[in-house]
């Protein structure tokens, strides 16, 4: 670290350096830390900005989606211009974050984290922070965490409530110990049914970031070791000690059975997106197309909008399809998976 860098850090991080738990040694450790944020929506956008301002040296931003006007109520990273340009969230976030702190490395990844790419996108990372909005991704992260002994920080928010926990392989129970099974559709509230109040997002994101700062500044003894739950509307708080919740029959951390890390590349994977009235369709790996090819083929038949990252096709009065270069499409205007897959089948032979 040269003299110019030292002076820059003392100026930029002066207040953080004065925190007795951080100091020069802690700040130096943060600048060496490599963090992945999975999901750049409400939680992820707050988490990413706070980590950037704290001086984490490397941030990998993984998100499958693009910016829309409905995001702006709670996803503080983004602007109306991002929505107008329908920029991928990872791209828009990286641009904003680099303007905040040009001294750190930002690595945007426009992708849906899956069994097919998790080994690539979560490699060489010190800690993973969950900013996602679905259970499948969390079970996937949990298995990767145990398999590679990388800690991760879970976070979930719906309505006015949130919960979070920090999972450290071989040190704490894992996510599957606490939540053995994915909830059945319709049995838990989602942002579709309960919405999201913006202040609760900042509250949970701040707890998650604080845990990341503790871990990466080598203050691991200060980690809360609990499942924290809070309702900001009723001011209800609950702190559940999970130190002894590790299950001897857990298929993941006890028996190292990683069912979510296995995926059939020949299958079509579709899922309804929370609160979006949209369905994501992931095409089989064998189907290869480029955005240029799609644009050239459909320009005479449909109204199209294009940016360097995505292609938007206006299918009819009710449906719009956004194509991604990694073999995904988001069908807007329906929550029905069968309807979305039928539309994609008419456009691309699957």
> pLDDT value at position 186?
58
Q: What is the pLDDT of residue 102?
A: 96
Residue 300, phi then psi, degrees to nearest 5 = -85, -15
Asked whether residue 226 carries a pLDDT value surpassing 50, the answer given is: yes
| pLDDT tens figures, 16-55 | 999 999 999 999 999 999 999 999 999 999 999 999 999 9
pLDDT digits (tens, 9 = 90+) for 182-207: 877 655 676 666 778 888 899 999 99
Closest CA to 223 of 204, 238, 210, 232: 210
| pLDDT at position 3 | 47
**Which of these, 106, 110, 156, 166, lies nearest to 134 by C-alpha position?**
156
Q: How many percent of the chain have pLDDT more than 90?
A: 76
pTM of structure: 0.92
How confident is the model at residue 269, as a pLDDT?
A: 79
In the prediction, which pLDDT does 263 show? 72
Cα Rg, the chain, nearest whole Å:
21
Residue 5 has pLDDT above 90, yes or no: no
In angstroms, the CA 184 to CA 175 distance is 17
DSSP state of 22: T
Per-residue pLDDT reduced to its tens digit, 65-106: 999 999 999 999 999 999 999 999 999 999 999 999 999 999
The C-alpha torsion from 140 through 141 and 143 to 144, rounded to 10°, is 120
Least reliable range by pLDDT among 52-66, 91-105, 135-149, 274-288: 274-288
CA distances from 164 to 160, 167, 205, 263, 294 (A): 14, 10, 9, 27, 42
Beta bridge partners of 314: 303, 320
DSSP class of residue 259?
G
């Amino acid at each position: 670290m040269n003299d110019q860098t030292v002076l820059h850090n003392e100026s930029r991080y002066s207040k953080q350096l004065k925190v007795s738990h951080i100091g020069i040694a802690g700040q130096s450790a943060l600048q060496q830390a490599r963090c992945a944020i999975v999901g750049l929506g409400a939680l992820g956008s707050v988490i990413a900005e706070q980590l950037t301002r704290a001086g984490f040296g490397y941030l990998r931003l993984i998100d499958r989606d693009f910016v829309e006007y409905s995001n702006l109520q709670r996803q503080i990273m983004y602007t109306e211009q991002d929505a107008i340009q329908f920029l991928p969230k990872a791209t828009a976030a990286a641009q904003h974050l680099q303007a905040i702190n040009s001294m750190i490395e930002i690595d945007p990844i426009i992708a849906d984290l899956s069994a097919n790419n998790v080994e690539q996108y979560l490699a060489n990372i010190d800690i993973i922070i969950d900013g996602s909005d679905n259970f499948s991704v969390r079970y996937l992260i949990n298995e990767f965490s145990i398999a590679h002994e990388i800690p991760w920080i879970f976070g979930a928010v719906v309505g006015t409530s949130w919960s979070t926990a920090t999972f450290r392989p071989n040190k704490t129970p894992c996510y599957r110990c606490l939540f053995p099974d994915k909830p059945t559709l319709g049995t838990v509230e989602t942002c579709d049914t309960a919405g999201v109040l913006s202040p609760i997002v900042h509250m949970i994101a701040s707890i998650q970031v604080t845990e990341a700062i503790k871990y990466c500044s080598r203050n691991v003894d200060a980690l809360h070791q609990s499942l924290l739950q809070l309702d900001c509307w009723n001011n209800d708080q609950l702190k559940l000690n999970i130190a002894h919740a590790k299950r001897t029959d857990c298929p993941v951390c006890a028996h190292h059975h990683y069912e979510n890390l296995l995926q059939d590349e020949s299958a079509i994977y579709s899922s309804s997106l929370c609160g979006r009235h949209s369905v994501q369709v992931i095409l089989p790996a064998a189907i290869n197309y480029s955005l240029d090819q799609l644009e050239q083929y459909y320009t005479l038949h449909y109204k199209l909008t294009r940016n360097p990252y995505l292609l938007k096709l206006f299918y009819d009065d009710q449906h719009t399809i956004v194509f991604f270069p990694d073999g995904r499409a988001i069908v807007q205007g329906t929550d029905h998976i069968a309807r979305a897959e039928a539309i994609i089948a008419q456009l691309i032979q699957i």
